[in-house]
Amino acid sequence: MTQGFDYDLVIIGAGVGGHGAALHAVGCGLKTAIIEAADMGGTCVNRGCVPSKALLAASGRVRELRNAHHLQTLGIQIQNVQFDRQAIANHANNLAAKIQGDLTNSLKRLGVDIIRGWGKVTGTQKVSVTTDSGEKTITAKDIILSPGSVPFVPPGVEVDGKTVFTSDQGVKLEWLPNWIAIIGSGYIGLEFSDVYSALGCEITMIEALDQLMPGFDRDIAKLAERVLITPRDIETYVGIYAKRVIPGSPVVIELANFKTKEDVAVLEVDACFVATGRIPATKNLGLESVSVELDRRNFIPVNDHMAVLSGGEVVPHLWAIGDATGKMMLAHAASAQGIVAVENICGRNKEVDYQSIPAAAFTHPEISYVGMTETQAQEKATAEGFEVAVAKSYFKGNSKALAEGEVDGITKVIYRKDTGELLGVHIFGLHASDIIHEASAAIANRESVHKLAHLVHAHPTLSEVLDEAYKRAVGV
């Protein structure tokens, strides 16, 4: 414990970022406190990854068990599959509560002091905590900010939390509207369209940009649209935005062309799910007391060591991690950033390697990726003067996928033609979120497809889709 301070480390925000940092800090021998103003576990545990994956697990089973044709090909007949919406909602709520309890206990067990209240930086190595009973100041050698993010609601959209809502309310699955509009076709919009369509709701998906799933590699998005959208009860508006959304019964949505702003149509639906991204929760953190200005999108500026920057210079003893930094707004990225921040606090020089952090959408089937899209790789290639090559393999040629009767899927491997270095991997197909990790490790180690093509995969496994793509890349 550093002399003259209450703590070695104080963390503001007990989401997965703060939690990951706290666990690692204790492992490194730092006396640590964590400040949380609302729910322990933050977005991921209470309103994000955890409840949404519980809903996807339950609704995915309903979809599978109601797919008579698929079951028949496996020799199974099931009639009259029923589900109980409230019981599915309870599964999500109970799981969130359990993981919240586990996370809190893990901190207590390790001796991390949990301080409930609003944390604010009040000067170098100083934090104030405001609770119902007043304010106290604590000192720490280092401070990590991990305040997270909240849903972005575009201008013109009025959220009442009942008929027009964001994922904060959506994860509670309080009712199943006959017809629901989902604004946004990013991973949250896609995951909830998977849940609602499996449970029998009619969906209208509204995407302001020119393509559905704009964040995904084009080949993956194209096939995903063919499997996840077209055959389901989902109508789409692309290049169109929701200019006004008025809650009620019905919910009224005024649609306009995103480019020309001309009115296009008015929808009257039962509910509207707003999945238009997330914004940092960086207000009232006291950053002005240490002369830190947020960037133009209100993220906290940081370098790859996770040190907070002021005018491009490192602010000593102040670090920021997680969604509030806007680098990669994912749970495991937040926690990885937390570990890197603690490593640097302990004097070990570590940087976050965003290239090797995977991402996934837990639709049925799933989408996953790591590294660059083909477009990003082409941009880098043009700037640096090398050529990009691409190899693909298909789930319909994979024995395990055939055995499961789940053959919709593709793997795309993007690499440098000259050195074979793996630049990006994109998978759409059964268990894509589990298969991606060997590609993630390969990118972390900057491996080449020449080496990867000679690794041996167990047969028959879904991971052979990657093996096949690597082999196609090098022609073995």
Tell me which of 5, 118, 152, 386 binds ligand FAD, using CB under 6 A.
Answer: 118
Tokens of 219: 């080949």
Interaction with ligand FAD in 262-291: which residues (CB under 6 A)?
281, 285
| Span from 95-103, 225-233, 235-243, 323-331 in contact with ligand FAD (CB under 6 A) | 323-331
Going by C-alpha positions, the residue among 423, 405, 427 that lies closest to residue 414 is 423
Listed ranges 81-89, 225-233, 330-338, 452-460: which one lies at the site for ligand FAD (CB under 6 A): 330-338
- Is 35 among the residues that bind ligand FAD (CB under 6 A)? yes
- Give me the numbers of helices (H) and strands (E) for the chain, helices first please: 15, 23
Q: What is the dihedral of CA 438, 443, 447, 449, to 10 degrees?
A: 70
Residue type, 61: R
Distance of closest approach, residue 117 Cβ to ligand FAD, in angstroms:
7
Cβ atoms of 314 and 349 closer than 8 Å: no
State in angstroms the smallest separation of the CB of 389 from ligand FAD.
30
Q: Is 459 a catalytic residue?
A: yes
Query: Which of 305, 431, 457, 459 is labelled catalytic?
Result: 459
Site track for ligand FAD across 428-457, x = CB under 6 A: ------------------------------
Give the residue with the Cβ less far from ligand FAD, 167 or 448: 167
Residue type, 348: R
CB of 327 to ligand FAD, least distance (A): 10
Q: Among 22, 23, 31, 48, indicate the residue that binds ligand FAD (CB under 6 A).
A: 48
Q: Which of 304, 335, 320, 321 is nearest to 121 (CA)?
A: 320
Nearest to 417 by CA among 473, 476, 336: 473
Question: What SS3 class is residue 172?
Answer: coil
Binds ligand FAD (CB under 6 A): choice among 8, 142, 323, 374 = 323
From the list 8-16, 206-214, 371-379, 416-424, the region that binds ligand FAD by CB under 6 A is 8-16
* Footprint on residues 354-373 left by ligand FAD (CB under 6 A): 362
DSSP conformation letters of 178-200: SEEEEE--SHHHHHHHHHHHHTT
Q: Which is nearer to ligand FAD, 165 or 241 (CB)?
A: 165
Question: What is the full DSSP assignment across 68-112?
Answer: HHHHHHTT---------HHHHHHHHHHHHHHHHHHHHHHHHHTTP
Selected binder of ligand FAD within 149, 344, 393, 448 (CB under 6 A): 149
- Residue 97 CA to chain centroid, in angstroms? 20
What SS3 state is found at 140? Answer: strand
Contact 350, 344 (CB under 8 A): yes
In 3D, which of 320, 382, 329 has the Cα closest to residue 354? 329
Report the DSSP pairing between strands 313-320 and 134-145.
Answer: parallel
Residue 49 touching ligand FAD (CB under 6 A): yes
Task: Kindly write out the interface string for residues 368-407 of this chain, putting x where it contacts ligand FAD by CB under 6 A and - elsewhere.
Answer: ----------------------------------------
User: Is 81 or 176 the residue whose CB approaches ligand FAD more closely?
Assistant: 176
CB 20 to ligand FAD: min, Å: 8
Closer residue to ligand FAD, CB minimum distance, 35 or 229 = 35
Q: Does 292 bind ligand FAD (CB under 6 A)?
A: no
C-alpha neighbours within 13 Å on the C-beta side of residue 381: 22
Q: Does residue 146 touch ligand FAD according to CB under 6 A?
A: yes
Assess 15 for contact with ligand FAD (CB under 6 A): yes
Backbone angles phi, psi at 103, to 5 degrees: -65, -45
Window 68 to 107, contacts with ligand FAD (CB under 6 A): none
CB of residue 115 to ligand FAD, shortest distance in Å: 9
CA angle 250, 252, 257 (to 5 degrees): 150
User: 188 or 255, CB closer to ligand FAD?
Assistant: 188
DSSP string, 318-375: EEE-GGGGTS--SHHHHHHHHHHHHHHHTT------GGG--EEE--SSEEEEEE--HH
Between CA 63 and CA 83 the distance in angstroms is: 11
Q: Can you tell me which of 10, 11, 30, 52 binds ligand FAD, judged by CB under 6 A? A: 52
Which residues are known catalytic residues?
459
Residues that bind ligand FAD (CB under 6 A): 12-18, 35-39, 42-44, 47-49, 52-53, 118-119, 146-149, 167, 188, 281, 285, 322-323, 329-332, 334, 362
